[in-house]
Amino acid sequence: MKKLNQGEIKLKILRFKVECSEPITIKDFLSRNGVSRRLMTKLKRQTDGITCNGEKIRTIDMVKNGDEVVLTMQDESFLEPNPTLNVPIVYESDSVIVFDKPIKMPVHPSINHQGDTLGNYFAYLFPRTTFRPVNRLDRDTSGLCAVAKNAHAVNMMKLQKTYYAIACGNIKEDGVIDAPIDREEESIIFRCVSPNGKRAITHYKVVRSNDKYTLLEISLETGRTHQIRVHFSYIGHPLVGDELYGALSDEIIGQALHCGRLRFFDVSANKEVEIIGELRKEMTKLV
């Protein structure tokens, strides 16, 4: 992995070669190439945000086969850079960077965490690029966290995530948890299974187990806040170390939940990418 230079910005320009049998509007052409309406609106407000063959063009104008369309994006970062942080980088391209986030590090700044987050480290590496985490992990959840370097990359990634967790007790078979999740009354943070909540579906496979714990491979059909933690607590197998949902442990720091695999489309490399990360050592020791 090469060393990143402070201020390095690799992708502020996207180039497209028009291939069509008949002329088409810029709006339709960009939509077919995965550019969102929100990004198009932002580009229209910029000087030379959208050009065709070197000339500024409107989204209602037509382009034809062989034309070159260029999008020039101007990102701005509002996070304070922190050069003292150091988060391992497991993958990087012109459009995305994947970190191996440690436990006890939030992804976003909050009232209690103003300078020690993944966002602050990203702002140091890319001081003029907006921080766009594609999958957001809890502070005490470790593992792979993908950050897009531009809005177009976010729209194109179609991220698939696989988690690994260690639950209390011996779970003998693979299964699916289909139980709606809602916010607990009078609580900003705590979630619970409730008939009034939004549908939440969690798929899990047993990897290995002993008399005390079970290592699980988990994929989510929905993405509710604290979904994995709430669901396994609900079925009587809370995650080891999860203080909020009932399984505080002195055998592990933080909860035994790790994002261990990401699969996504890298638009700058024009290919599907799969990243597999190692499980935390303290998790593997439990099973």
What CATH number is given to the structural domain containing 210?
3.30.2350.10
Question: Is residue 249 in a domain?
Answer: yes
pTM: 0.76
Question: Is residue 183 in a domain?
Answer: yes
**Residues near 255 by beta carbon (within 8 Å), at least 6 away in sequence:** 138, 140, 141, 229, 239, 240, 241, 242, 243
Domain that holds residue 208: 161-258
Question: Is residue 271 in a domain?
Answer: no
Among the three residues 27, 52, 72, which one is the final residue of a domain in this structure?
Answer: 72
Which pLDDT score, from 0 to 100, does residue 74 have?
A: 67
Q: Which amino acid is at 82?
A: N
Number of domains in the chain: 2
Question: Is residue 148 in a domain?
Answer: no
pLDDT tens series, the chain, 287 aa: 333 443 333 336 788 889 888 999 999 998 888 787 878 888 887 778 899 998 889 999 999 999 999 988 766 556 888 999 999 999 999 999 999 999 999 998 876 777 899 999 999 999 888 899 999 899 999 999 999 998 889 888 999 999 999 999 999 999 999 999 999 887 778 999 999 999 999 999 999 999 899 999 999 999 999 999 999 999 999 999 998 998 788 889 889 999 999 999 999 999 999 999 999 999 999 98
Question: Is residue 225 in a domain?
Answer: yes
Which pLDDT score, from 0 to 100, does residue 12 have?
A: 65
**Kind of pairing, strands 142-148 and 257-266?**
parallel
Question: Is residue 186 in a domain?
Answer: yes
HEC string for the chain = CCCCCCCCCCCCEEEEECCCCCCEEHHHHHHHCCCCHHHHHHHHHCCCCEEECCEECCCCCEECCCCEEEEECCCCCCCCCCCCCCCCEEEECCCEEEEEECCCCCCCCCCCCCCCCHHHHHHHHCCCCCCEECCCCCCCCEEEEEEECCHHHHHHHCCEEEEEEEEECCCCCCEEEECCEEECCCCCCCEEECCCCECCEEEEEEEEECCCEEEEEEEECCCCCCHHHHHHHHCCCCECCECCCCECCCCCCCCCEEEEEEEEEECCCCEEEEEECCCCHHHHHHC
Q: Which residues are catalytic?
A: 138
Q: Which amino acid is at 55?
A: E
Q: Alpha carbon of 100 to those of 57, 125, 127, 206: distances in Å? A: 41, 15, 20, 24
Which pLDDT score, from 0 to 100, does residue 152 have?
A: 87
Which pLDDT score, from 0 to 100, does residue 4 have?
A: 40
Which pLDDT score, from 0 to 100, does residue 121 have?
A: 96
Question: Is residue 228 in a domain?
Answer: yes
Give the integer Cα–Cα distance in Å for 242 and 52.
Answer: 54
Which pLDDT score, from 0 to 100, does residue 78 have?
A: 66
Tokens, residue 203: 């798929």
